[in-house]
Structure 1
Amino acid sequence: MSRALTGVLGAIAVSLTGTRVSAIALPWFVLESTGSAAQTGLVAFAEMAPYVLVKALAGPIIDRAGPRRISWACDVVSAAAAGTVVLLHALGLLPLGALVPLVAVIGAARGPGDLAKEVMVPEAAERARMPLERATGLMGVTERLAQTVGPAAGGVAVGVLGPMASLGVSAVCFALGSVVVTWALPRGMGRRAAELEDGQEEENDGYWRRFGQGLAFLRGERLLLTVIVMIGVTNLLDAAFSQVLAPVWAKESGHGAAVLGLNSSVMGLTAVGGGLVAAAVAHRMRRRPVFFVAFLIAGPPRFLVLMADLPLWAIVAVFAVSGFAGGFLNPILGAITYERVPRRLLGRVGALQTSLAWAGIPLGGLLAGVVVTAAGLAPVLPACGAAYAVTTSLTGLRPEWREMDRLRGRPAALRE
């Protein structure tokens, strides 16, 4: 494996680990400090709304300035903002009015930073002389490992040292991401994604022209648009689950943050196994049936199992099975994207595609907080599980999905 590919995967691993640690620390800090599900949802909204908005607008800048430079800068800003939150809390100067804008800065930096790393994967695969499907499979496994280590580390740190110590871990991870990018990735890495097929850069194209090129391409891709709608709804439900429903369940059931982190980590670990299996047999699979069956297993059972008074091992087992099924999803989504989007448009199309698919995430936590405050947790869990099942089942009847099995090849992670 080349240094460039190792560097990209390493940067993805540490930065995403930091994001997942903060996803445990921040909701738990707000919930513990205020006891309010609504305020917990507000802080989640403050992070994810800028994430989605800035990411949507960052594509032309990434294509023009280069993803390596953008990735480094965003990691530095994320580390500084997370460190400032920890410092202000230590000084007793962290009211909700100060926490919200700092969390918004973290979200605004994470969006383009995450996208920039994804854009560098195809070139890193070329430098390593590795098939693109294998490289994107490794990226999926790396992301899943980070989703395993991050929640586990966050849950342990919250339980032992408190939520602010966990956020300090996030700041260190973000800073380490910038170090990896500086050390491992050659200057100009990813700039090939901004070149035309004939090798000439679009020097005369301004920001809005580049933005319009990405929008025009995406509007002509019916399959990608259908994917965006479906993933947008399920991402909203996933956000409601992870940002509010699961933390409230953990607190009300008495299981605490450690079990919250355990469930997320087990799900991430089994998703690694699912991703490895998917990478090994992807060229033999019919994408459409695998995709929709995996979605039905990965989504609704998580909501429904928290309704029942089951022993902890049974709950963890459901999360394990859901994670394994979920490991098949992003490799399929990624292959569809990379094989349909020209390399020179990856930044701007990927920014729009991912941001639209993530548009419901800021609302997920906010809406869940309001609804749980008004109606309680018990009726919300089955309603969300049913909505998840209906969305994945009905959307699959659209004729565009038949195009999934027509092509093979090249991902941008649409799912949270």
Structure 2
Amino acid sequence: MNRILFLYLTAEALSLLGNSLIAIALPLLVLERLGSVSAAGTVSLVAALPIVAGGLVGGLIVDRVSRRTSAIVGDVLSALAVAALPLVDLLWGLDLGWFSLLGVLGALADIPGMTAREAMVSEVARLSGTGLERVMGLREGIGASMIIIGPGAAGLAMSVAPPVAVLWGIAVISLVSAICGALLPREVGARPAGLRRVDGLRDVFGELRAGFAVIGGSRRLVTVTLFITACAVVLASFQGIVMPVYFTQAGTPGLLGTVLVAIAVGMIAGAGLYAATGGDTRRRLWAMGALVLLAVGVLILATLASYPVVLLGSVVTGAGMGVLNSVLGVITQEAIPEHARGRVFSVQNMSSSLAGPVAVFVTGMIIDLFTLTTASLTLGLLWVTATALIATTATFRKLDEGISAPQERTAGHADDR
């Protein structure tokens, strides 16, 4: 594997692993220190609040400076936020205020770093001499792998080692990710040329509006952003509330982890297949096949017929998602002007990150008002309807009409309307 591609994927994997580990370790540590379930929920909610600010401002920063530098700084700040937990515990003792503050700081660092690495994909593909489809497929497969490794590793580490040692380990992982990023050549994710200087708050808001205008001026980007958000709604609802309630009612809560693993395995298989052969076949064929696979998987999952059926639906859903994420990732990379990638990816990440918790809340209300089966089947039918509508859009009909020079393209380019 090319050195640039290896360093980029390693940095991506370690950063995602660190985020996955802290997402499990932090609530467990809050429960251990404060002994309150509501406190753990409060910390999770407060840590989610910076998503909007981090997404908007972070995207602007990523577009104004080197993406490589943004990713490195994000990883370092994330490591410092995690390392501060044991230090504060030693000096003053952790309470709800400290947990919330450090959770917010960590979240503020994560979003720009994640956006920066996503904005670097096209440059990594070009400089490493690797096809964009292959890089995107490998990246999606690594992300799915962290879904499997992260929670299990966090649970195991918290059971065999002191929480302080686990936190230091997570901080080291983020620092190693930063080191891998620093070893990348400077031209990877270099600051886009020709950007004027931003002077004052008015210019900042103008730049943010320009980022939204890029999405609004491109039918492809609008469609992809809405679809990514819809995917987040469905998957978050099933993973965050439907499956936990289903297995709790069945008296087998321990089986929930196997479903999450099944989804991740399917995603790895789908993304891996696309990475291996995606560049040799028409994108529309891949996308339509993935849409069908995803719709079938969600419908199987929504029946909640039995554990084997749920497991099958999880694998099929994951496979469809792995392929579709890869295809949409390639399309998005090509459709965004090089100078606006940070802001566009920030908007997409922000919308999907916010949509998940809201969807879980609404789905929980439906379960309380009606039944679990009603909520599950409603999600399945809504998803199939959304899939049918998406498949008929101009974006999906014209997926094989590539954009030859995205860095020169403007938001109002007629070819993408």
> What is the TM-score of this pair, normalised by structure 2?
0.80
Q: Does the alignment pair 1:344 with 2:370?
A: no
Structure 2, gaps ≥5 residues long: 407-417
Please name the residue that 2:415 is paired with: none
AA partner of residue 185 (structure 2): P
- After the TM superposition, which residues 172-321 of structure 1 pair with which residues of structure 2 at under 5 Å, given as runs? 172-182=172-182, 184-187=183-186, 189-192=188-191, 194-195=192-193, 200-203=194-197, 206-247=203-244, 249=246, 253-256=250-253, 259-282=255-278, 283-285=280-282, 286-305=285-304, 308=305, 310-311=306-307, 315-321=310-316
| Larger deviation, residues 228-237 vs 68-77 | 228-237
Q: Does the alignment pair 1:323 with 2:333?
A: no
Q: Does the alignment pair 1:364 with 2:369?
A: no
Distance 1:245 1:119 in 2: 33
C-alpha change, 1:243 and 1:154, in structure 2 (3 Å) is farther
| Larger deviation, residues 27-36 vs 277-286 | 27-36
C-alpha displacement at 1:59, in angstroms? Answer: 2.0
C-alpha displacement at 1:236, in angstroms? Answer: 2.5
Helix, strand or coil: the match of 2:73? Answer: helix
1:351-396 C-alpha deviation (Å, 9 max, x unpaired):
2233334431342344456666777856544443443333333343
Specify the structure having the higher radius of gyration (Cα).
Answer: 2
- After the TM superposition, which residues 13-28 of structure 1 pair with which residues of structure 2 at under 5 Å, given as runs? 13-26=13-26
C-alpha change, 1:234 and 1:407, in structure 2 (3 Å) is same
C-alpha change, 1:48 and 1:59, in structure 2 (3 Å) is same
Query: Root-mean-square deviation (CA), in Å?
Result: 3.6
1:100-143 C-alpha deviation (Å, 9 max, x unpaired):
34333222221111111112222222221222222222222222
C-alpha change, 1:14 and 1:381, in structure 2 (3 Å) is same
AA partner of residue 226 (structure 1): T
The partner residue of 1:401 within 384, 396, 399 is 396
C-alpha displacement at 1:247, in angstroms? Answer: 4.5
For the Cα contact (< 8 Å) 1:338–1:410, is it kept in 2? Answer: no
C-alpha change, 1:327 and 1:102, in structure 2 (3 Å) is same
For the Cα contact (< 8 Å) 2:243–2:256, is it kept in 1? Answer: yes
Distance 1:372 1:177 in 2: 41
1:279-299 C-alpha deviation (Å, 9 max, x unpaired):
233241424422321331454
Distance 2:152 2:375 in 1: 26
C-alpha change, 1:386 and 1:89, in structure 2 (3 Å) is farther
Please name the residue that 1:118 is paired with: 118
Please name the residue that 1:414 is paired with: none
C-alpha change, 1:288 and 1:69, in structure 2 (3 Å) is closer
Q: Which one scores higher on RCO, CA 8 angstroms, separation ≥ 6?
A: 1
AA partner of residue 264 (structure 1): L
AA partner of residue 403 (structure 1): K
C-alpha displacement at 1:31, in angstroms? Answer: 8.2
For the Cα contact (< 8 Å) 2:75–2:178, is it kept in 1? Answer: yes
- After the TM superposition, which residues 75-154 of structure 1 pair with which residues of structure 2 at under 5 Å, given as runs? 75-85=75-85, 93-154=93-154
What is the aligned residue count? 398
